[in-house]
Structure 1
Amino acid sequence: MRLTGWLFAAGSLCFLLAALAALDSQATWIDGTFFAGSIFFTSAALLQLIAAASVPHARRAGINVLASPARWWEPHVDWVAAAVQFAGTIFFNINTYNALDDALTTQQENLRVWVPDAVGSVCFLVASVLAVAVVQRRWLAWEPRDPDWKIGWANLVGSIAFGFAAIAAFSRPATGDLVDDRLANTGTAWGALFFLIGAILLVREARTQASSSSS
């Protein structure tokens, strides 16, 4: 879990730095940094998907899911949330990779860059809602002392910010301009910041659990 947290943190930091830089610059390194961040996100999401597949079964019967791949398809909320999130990171891979091409027309940019961005943002939002639903003991509970609660809500707020950024990043067919360039970058920066907070909390929780196990 600690490695997952560090990978999410690295991806979030890449997105945060690139989005902040994009507010006042068009430097060539910005798009590459977004793409690098998406790779970190995908790596972390894959580890989280594996963990989500194994933990519930281990609690029930000590089953090693890695040794029984067929068990991956048994539906439960943790796994579904992780699977949707992993799918979202793949769409962000596509989105950020295609954004490296400066020769795209407005129509191509909307199709190859904006559509994967929008779908990825929806996936992140759905996954975050499911993750929060898992940790909530009751609707809209306020449990700031619960690490899982804080992680879930940090990621949900980040996903909402990514959603606003995706809406603002649509290119107007008539002019080629974004709906709101500043909102697109600001929303991405805020989303990345909350994802970074969630990732740091995840690392801290992993350390706490490791200390408890060794004592």
Structure 2
Amino acid sequence: MSTHHERPPRPPRTRIMRLRRESWGFAVGSVLFAVGVVPWYVDAVGAVWDAATFFAGSVFFTLGGFIQLALSGRRPPRRSSSPADFADWWSAAVQFVGTLLFNVSTAAVLIGAIRSTSTPSTGWTPDAWGSAAFLVASVLALVAARRRHELWDPDARTAHGTWLNMAGSVAFGFSAVGAYVVPASGTIYDLHWVNLGTFLGAVCFFLAAVLARRSMEYEAHHPGLSTT
């Protein structure tokens, strides 16, 4: 008689899709940016709190960008990396830089609102460099999505997510153009387009964030989840 003990069969596993970690930061940041341009909200909270809303949103964007770049499993590309991995990493890196630029621009608005509470708030004055960084990141993300089968994680870039981010980046870009200050008058070129572009861009970023999923492996007998 054999004395060897047979290993128990492995419990059945199934794969499910869960919201990506970086999505939480992008989703919350998008909501704050969208709320910040709603007229009734601005009237209700005042210039300082409205500016603080945009600053908090930019911080959440930076948190999501940092997680996406440094904590999601990405590695800096090497010579042996595929073109898709090059585009994917650089997209995350450029986007993270863009979020930092938004931190600076929203902080400047907040400081200005605190120093002069009697001045009507224009909300977030879009940063041209930050908006440009988002556009570049979106283009690189589209390149990565075209060859997603080569990525470290095929779920990292999807067609709907990258196109939504591109639409959001374009809207932010138009918002930045609308925020151009006319030298002769010292006023913003088109405040209505600033607010509309910011709102539409935030909605696109929010949808891209909540639709971003990661494949997870689930053991039926155990309540926990483990990444694969």
The corresponding residue for 2:38 is 20
Q: Pairwise mapping of residues 6-85 of structure 1 onto structure 2 (< 5 A)? A: 6-21=24-39, 25=43, 27-28=46-47, 29-50=49-70, 51=72, 53-54=74-75, 76-85=86-95
Q: Pairwise mapping of residues 58-137 of structure 1 onto structure 2 (< 5 A)? A: 76-100=86-110, 101-102=112-113, 117-136=127-146
Distance 2:186 2:160 in 1: 39
Unmatched tracts of structure 1, length 5 or more: 61-74, 105-112, 138-146
2:174 to 164, 172, 194: 164
CA offset at residue 24 of structure 1?
A: 6.9
Distance 1:199 1:175 in 2: 39
The corresponding residue for 1:71 is none
1:93-119 CA distance string (max 9 Å, x none): 000000111358xxxxxxxx86x7000
1:124-174 CA distance string (max 9 Å, x none): 00000110111125xxxxxxxxx7111100000000000000010112122
The corresponding residue for 1:66 is none
For residue 34 of structure 1, what is the amino acid of its counterpart?
A: F
CA offset at residue 76 of structure 1?
A: 1.3
Greater strand percent: which structure? Answer: 2
Distance 1:7 1:179 in 2: 31
The corresponding residue for 1:214 is 218
1:60-93 CA distance string (max 9 Å, x none): 8xxxxxxxxxxxxxx8111111110000000000
Distance 2:42 2:197 in 1: 15
Greater helix percent: which structure? Answer: 1
Larger mean CA deviation between 28-37 and 75-84 belongs to 75-84
SS at match of 1:53: coil
Is the 2:29–2:61 contact (alpha carbons within 8 Å) kept by the matching residues of 1? yes
2:160 to 150, 153, 165: 150
1:189 to 199, 216, 220: 199
Is the 2:75–2:89 contact (alpha carbons within 8 Å) kept by the matching residues of 1? no
Is the 1:23–1:186 contact (alpha carbons within 8 Å) kept by the matching residues of 2? no
CA offset at residue 54 of structure 1?
A: 3.1
Distance 1:52 1:117 in 2: 29
Percent sequence identity is: 39
TM-score (norm 2): 0.70
Is the 1:9–1:195 contact (alpha carbons within 8 Å) kept by the matching residues of 2? yes
CA offset at residue 20 of structure 1?
A: 2.1
CA offset at residue 56 of structure 1?
A: 7.4
For residue 3 of structure 1, what is the amino acid of its counterpart?
A: R
CA offset at residue 175 of structure 1?
A: 1.5
Is the 2:77–2:89 contact (alpha carbons within 8 Å) kept by the matching residues of 1? no
Distance 1:19 1:165 in 2: 12
SS at match of 1:214: strand
Is the 2:168–2:204 contact (alpha carbons within 8 Å) kept by the matching residues of 1? yes
Q: CA RMSD in A?
A: 2.8
